[in-house]
Structure 1
């Protein structure tokens, strides 16, 4: 088995949930890029992998995809609707001024580069701001990036919170401004599940598009 170049094995990463002190002015830049949903403490373990993944291999260390939310078309949707698809899950919101549109734009570039291999790839954009992100709002938003592969998901506060906790995603709404507007501090990890719904990889919003293309192509080949 080949050693994974420039990557550390996931078992050597310890999640420490660290919500920021949002009362500190200027400490966070709007949509804060939490490091893969949490602060990661890395050991010096030497790890080997069967495949030279370019993103972080989490196989066997995160739960399978499991949710029930409302899609941007207004219909109930669950993981059962994605059987046979390689699925990317990203938590964000439509009023996000920077990292969310940047990430969705990059993922649209990824699916374009995948060509025919993207036929069974879906990108789930899960809102952490359901009060404003109605299905209609989500539909207009995701269609602007990749109408073929993107699916906007929203729902009740409790349903979104449960899904976020399942994958150790942190988010918190800032104090509303005088005009009623507000921003939401949130994690920016991209979770990747194989065609059977098993958690396989985690990407960061600043990982290059080529890394996603490489790994998604390998997952697509498995199916």
Structure 2
């Protein structure tokens, strides 16, 4: 299999994960857009503690104090993660013109390869993005708290990649879940959600 075919396969799997996530989200919401599982109050909460690339701890307290976004991915990600980081860079540039900013945490789903140092290099080019890693057990606890799907997938010839949820999760300044931004949702739509959250 050529490299382009592999990348196309990864992109297709990424699209499937996004579509399934959107379907689940629509099924969970009530007919009036209500939140029957109380995700607003529970998503991102829980007993998890990881390490950030600036040397601090990552817990539910990090979601408070300002507009925050959390995205799960990994540094060997062929398309979804670098694309999303590129989107985040555009959001930050647009928000800066209004004197606003978004605190963004990139949490690895691949702690076996993504050390704090590796993540620091990976996210360093995007303003306002902090990498997050920990032990496999700590990462699993965070995935559970944020309702993240992640699975290791073996590759032909050895090695592995990761299937994972691709949405960016937004949290208001009280640390309450606001809404997701879908993969490649569009800059204008994403910024409208972020600005609406900041203004709320």
TM range (shorter): 0.7 to 0.9
Native 8 Å contact 1:109 1:209 kept in 2 = yes
Native 8 Å contact 1:59 1:201 kept in 2 = no
Q: Which residue of 2 aligns with 1:118?
A: 100
Instruction: Decide whether aligned partners of structure 1 residues 220 and 39 sit closer, same or farther in structure 2, where only a CA change above 3 A counts.
Output: closer
Asked if 1:47 corresponds to 2:27, the answer is no
Give the deviation of 1:177 after TM superposition. Answer: 5.1
Native 8 Å contact 1:73 1:136 kept in 2 = no
Q: Which residue of 2 aligns with 1:80?
A: 61
Give the deviation of 1:199 after TM superposition. Answer: 0.5
How many aligned residue pairs are there?
185
Q: Which has the higher helix share?
A: 2
Q: Which residue of 2 aligns with 1:201?
A: 179
Match of 1:103 among 79, 84, 87: 84
Q: Which residue of 1 aligns with 2:163?
A: 185
Give the deviation of 1:113 after TM superposition. Answer: 0.7
Instruction: Decide whether aligned partners of structure 1 residues 168 and 81 sit closer, same or farther in structure 2, where only a CA change above 3 A counts.
Output: closer
Residues of 1 paired with 2:58 and 2:121: CA distance?
18
Native 8 Å contact 2:170 2:180 kept in 1 = yes
Residues of 2 paired with 1:79 and 1:218: CA distance?
22
Q: Which residue of 2 aligns with 1:162?
A: 141
Instruction: Decide whether aligned partners of structure 1 residues 143 and 92 sit closer, same or farther in structure 2, where only a CA change above 3 A counts.
Output: same
Give the deviation of 1:36 after TM superposition. Answer: 6.7
Name the SS of the counterpart of 1:105 in structure 2. helix
Match of 2:39 among 38, 57, 61: 61
Instruction: Decide whether aligned partners of structure 1 residues 127 and 45 sit closer, same or farther in structure 2, where only a CA change above 3 A counts.
Output: closer
Name the SS of the counterpart of 1:207 in structure 2. coil
Residues of 1 paired with 2:65 and 2:36: CA distance?
20
1:133-188 superposed Cα distances (whole Å, 9 cap, x missing partner): 111110011112x1x3101001111121122122321111122554x532111110
TM-score, length-normalised on structure 2?
A: 0.79
- Is there any run of 5+ residues in structure 2 with no aligned partner, and where? 1-5
Larger radius of gyration: 1
Residues of 2 paired with 1:118 and 1:68: CA distance?
28
Q: Which residue of 1 aligns with 2:10?
A: 30
TM-score, length-normalised on structure 1?
A: 0.72
Residue range with higher mean Cα deviation, 211-220 or 150-159 = 211-220
Residue range with higher mean Cα deviation, 71-80 or 95-104 = 71-80
